[in-house]
Structure 1
Amino acid sequence: EKGVVVPPKSHVGLDIGTGASCIYPLLFVTYVTQQQQDGEETNSLSGSWNMLATEVDAVSASAARANVQANQLQDKIHVVLVKPTDAQQQEEQLSATTETKLEKDFRLDHPADLKSANQLSSSSSNSLRARGPIACAMEATLSDEAPSWLDPATISDHDAEKGQRRFDFCMTNPPFYDSADAEATTRQRMDDRSRTPMTLSEGTYPKGEVGFVLDMVRDSLYYRTDISWYTTMVGKK
């Protein structure tokens, strides 16, 4: 309508496992802000852009928040400590109670195995659906500490009939190694090159990066109206 000023859309991205540096949200928000200040924004970068960054390690989450505050971007980047996924909790339960063959052979590949895994988890609210990395992030959006820009009504392309979409994109740099992989806990690679220091949660996950990404894929089926676009790094051969 002529004469009506349309407010800029609000966009939100999700970084799964942001790490102690919170590097990707910081780089992205800084880049978008600079482009807009220089008048070089495109249609895809117009409006307000914010990032939700999740982290499962308490020390890393605290360091990430400090880094965001040091860059004075706490109004645009929200770092949240999330619970471990069901796969992580199940692995912890199994390793704490038994060293039997069941622990070594436990997998989430087959639907029957997935159902059995859920039955073992005391934290799962639904025995037919395992909580993966995205599910843990979605739980964090319900916190009283969640910023106002996580309200679905403020997100771009929000459809009142759906009422669910919260994120324009989801990105992750997953843990490369299987939790049972001895290489992940050594200070050097097999070829004697030094390894970047990392926490256990940064480097390992049940079945490694494949297991992590597959858990995200399963989550995406449930949250299909919540996130528009997904991307992930896959780095271990």
Structure 2
Amino acid sequence: MHHLNPYANQSLNFIELLEKDDGLAKIVGKRKDGNWEQIDFKNSSVLRAVTEATLLHEFGITITLKEDRLCPTIPNRLDYLAWMEEIWNSTCLHELEDFIATSNEEIAADARPPKRKRVERETSLRILDIGTGSSCIYPLLGCSLHSNWEFIGTDIDKESLKNAREAIHDARNDRNSAASKASHPLNLTKRIHLLERERDQSLFPSSQEVCATCLNPVHSTSSPSEEGYIYHMTMCNPPFYASQAEMDESLQAKATPPNAVCHGSANEMICVGGELSFIKQMIDESTRMKDEVIWFTTLIGKLSDVEPIVEGLQKRDASHLQVTDFLQGKTKRWAVVWTFTAFRLPKLEKANKLTSLPENSQHIFELDEHGDVIDFATRLKNDLRDSGFYANLAEDTFQTSTHLIVFAKEDTWTRKARRLKARGAVVQTQDSSLPVVGVRITLRKTEGRPLTQMLLVWIYGRNRQLFDSLCMSIRNRILAKNN
């Protein structure tokens, strides 16, 4: 289970749930000794009642799940959302926009950047949920857990969208939130917008279609698109099977029966060509949205599909991708994230070795620094600023571990750059408003030793050699000052 999953450290307490929910208690019942009967997760009515009770009492969400539609398993769905949260927390968008604002003021290299209002991470995160389903489960859970997330959910099934709208517009949901994990009003009607799609339409609604829902593209100074990002992230739980026969065969081939019953409509479970064909279409269409979306993601239900999906992304020149897996009970799923932007992720929790970051995406050095790490980070920040770099202490800075965000507007440290400068030549970058490379520096005391460990992680840029050379330049700069 992902470490950001609300149930990572404490499982759902079914006894408490039974005591809170009269409807569930009536369905499950008690034995003669006064203890509760065992919950039968293979009974579809019981499973729906458990899920509805969990959503109500844990997340403040009132919904009626339909018999002929998928009944979502809450902890599994939370793993995907937790992974999305980790991706977003690792994205340097706000720091990048602060860099652009600083650069636009044309501050002299030897001057200190003035204090400015920081770009807050509380700014809305917009997510496209492809195939949101009758339960609209990802948008509902996402809005319950995060006050600044908003969703656009799409589906081709009119009945599924009808049921999802009923939950979104249920006035009880805002009242319920006070007694759940949601410590904020849900405001679902303002934060979840549904779009009906046809089979022959693109999986990614255009900016015009999004604007028709009263949502404008998210303005960002770092977006290559003049309109901004239509979505920060996309997500999808695609249909697994190519036919009913394939689905039946898959269930029969399982070594042990599933822990819970699985009911769903054909639209939710089956598509032409199956999961692999669906995701390949998504990859093809994502190339046309590369300037309007930062991170594309999707779940993968079959291990055999992972490799061809990765190969497809590499052929489409995705600038960065990672694969992870989710395992709960007997159920294992995989997920892939990719981008065509210059943003890069550190190696995320449980990142699959097949596509984890190359070894030189980070560097670790031990430095002969014995003092306070915040003092050391401040001196390093000022030194880098004096040399024309953007450098700021990150918000998550502590006495024992300090983080520094560094961007370089242009290459000034490599031998090639120094030779060009000596000849009076100017190195042109693709977009002068954006940095050529970004690095997150973590400084921490080495346990049991009077040294400071410096971890440099690549967070922005397309040139790995430039990142490597910058890391060595920063290290050599520190060593030179200490000698």
TM-score, normalised to structure 1, is: 0.61
Among 132, 135, 159, the residue aligned to 1:59: 159
1 CA distance for matches of 2:127 and 2:141?
A: 13
1 CA distance for matches of 2:241 and 2:208?
A: 26
What is the 5 A alignment of 1:40-119?
48-70=148-170, 71-72=173-174, 73-84=188-199, 86=200
**Structure 1 residue 79, shift from structure 2 partner:** 1.5
Counterpart position of 2:138? 24
| 1:133 correspondence with 2:203 | yes
2 CA distance for matches of 1:205 and 1:228?
A: 27
Counterpart position of 1:169? 233
Alignment check: 8 A CA contact 1:187 1:195 kept: no
2 CA distance for matches of 1:75 and 1:141?
A: 17
* Unpaired segments ≥5 residues, structure 1: 34-47, 87-130
Counterpart position of 1:219? 285
SS of alignment partner, residue 177 of structure 1: coil
2 CA distance for matches of 1:157 and 1:3?
A: 16
1 CA distance for matches of 2:224 and 2:290?
A: 16
Counterpart position of 2:251? 189
1 CA distance for matches of 2:136 and 2:221?
A: 27
More strand by share: 2
* Unpaired segments ≥5 residues, structure 2: 1-113, 175-187, 304-483
1 CA distance for matches of 2:210 and 2:192?
A: 16
Deviations 1:139-167 (A, max 9, x none): 772563x02xx212x44556486324210
Deviations 1:94-127 (A, max 9, x none): xxxxxxxxxxxxxxxxxxxxxxxxxxxxxxxxxx
Report which structure shows greater RCO (CA 8 Å, sep ≥6): 1
Q: Which has the larger radius of gyration?
A: 2
Q: Aligned in 2, Cα 1:51/1:19: closer, same or farther, shift over 3 Å?
A: same
Aligned residues: 170
**Structure 1 residue 214, shift from structure 2 partner:** 0.6
Counterpart position of 2:357? none
TM-score, normalised to structure 2, is: 0.32
Q: Aligned in 2, Cα 1:140/1:235: closer, same or farther, shift over 3 Å?
A: farther
Counterpart position of 1:236? 302
